[in-house]
Amino acid sequence: MIVKKKERLMSIDPSINNLGMAIWDMTTKKLLLWKLVHPKTDMRKNEYEKALSMSDQLREWSKIYVVNHTVLEVPEHWAVGGFEARETGSIAKLCFVCGLIYSMQYSMETCELVSPRGWKGQMPKEVMANRLQDEYWAKYQIDMNGTATDKKLNENVADAIGIGHYKLFGSV
C-alpha cells in the first residue's frame, strides 16, 4: 500500500503583537485551521521574548498539522506611509519576527516569501477581510475553539487566509 504524503501549507501574516496564521491542505485546497497567535508572555516584556513566543507557537502548530510548506509575508519599504513605522522601530521589530519565522524553513520543504504588494496589491487589510468574509467565514462560523460565533474575521487572520488563498489559487 502506498501512503501519499500530506501536503500542508502554513500561511502567515506576521505582526509584532498578534499574528495571523492559517493552515491548508494543499491537495484539496481546504482551510484546516486559522488562528490569531498572541505572545504567551507578559506583553510588557521585550519584543524579542514576544516574537520568540509566537514563533514557538507556529512551530507547535506546524508539528500538529504536519506542515511542510510555508508562505510568509515580509515587510517592504513604504515611501510616505511607512515613515512613522520606520521612525518608531516597528519595521525593525517586524523584521525580527519574520526572521524567527523564516528559520522554520529548515524543517520545511519550501518557504516562500511574499510582499503585501506581491499578493494583494494596494488593497487595505479591511477590504481584504471583507472580500474573504463571505467565502471563508460562511463556511467556518465555528471558531477554532468549537464555539459558534458571528464575529468578523480578525484582519491579521484574514490576511493570513488571503496569503494562503493567493498561493493556492493564484489570486484573491
2 located within any domain: no
Which pLDDT score, from 0 to 100, does residue 150 have?
57
- The three cell numbers of residue 127 are 477590504
User: What CA–CA distance (Å, rounded) separates 46 from 132?
Assistant: 33
Q: Is the pLDDT of residue 144 over 70?
A: no
Q: Which residues contact 50 (CB under 8 A, 6 or more apart)?
A: 16, 17, 39, 41, 43
In a domain, 66, yes or no: yes
| pLDDT at res. 29 | 95
Q: Which tens digits make up the pLDDT trace of 7-60?
A: 999 999 999 889 999 999 999 999 999 899 999 877 677 888 999 999 999 999
Q: Any idea what DSSP says for residue 137?
A: I
The pLDDT confidence band at residue 107, using thresholds 50, 70 and 90, is: confident
pLDDT, tens only, 145-158: 555 555 677 889 99
Burial class (CB in 10 A: 0-12, 13-18, 19+), 89: exposed
pTM of the model: 0.84
Residue 13 backbone phi and psi in degrees, to 5: -105, 100
Residue with the bigger pLDDT between 86 and 109: it is 109
Handedness of CA 63, 65, 70, 74 (dihedral sign): negative
> Edge-to-edge strand order for the sheet containing 110-114?
30-37, 19-25, 8-13, 69-73, 110-114
Q: What is the pLDDT of residue 81?
A: 52
Sort strands 30-37 and 69-73 into parallel, antiparallel or unpaired.
unpaired
Q: Is the predicted pLDDT of residue 79 greater than 80, yes or no?
A: no
What are the counts of helices (DSSP H) followed by strands (DSSP E) for the chain? 6, 5
Q: Which three cell numbers stand for residue 28?
A: 484539496
* CA 27 remoteness from chain centre: 19
pLDDT at residue 75 in the model: 87
Whole domain around residue 113: which residue ranges? 8-169
Establish if 157 belongs to a structural domain. Answer: yes
User: Using CA atoms in the order 142, 145, 151, 153, what is the torsion angle rounded to 10 degrees?
Assistant: -90
43 or 97: whose pLDDT is higher?
Answer: 97
Domain count, the chain: 1
Q: Is residue 3 part of a domain?
A: no
Q: Which residue has the higher pLDDT, 129 or 146?
A: 129
Q: How far apart are CA 164 and CA 3, in angstroms?
A: 25
CATH number, domain with residue 33: 3.30.420.10
What percent of the chain has pLDDT above 90? 44
* Residue 162 clears pLDDT 60, i.e. is over it: yes
169 has a pLDDT exceeding 60: yes
pLDDT of 83: 54
96: enclosing H helix or E strand = helix 90-102
Flag whether 1 is in a domain. Answer: no
The answer to the question of residue 80 being in a domain is yes
pLDDT value at position 37?
94
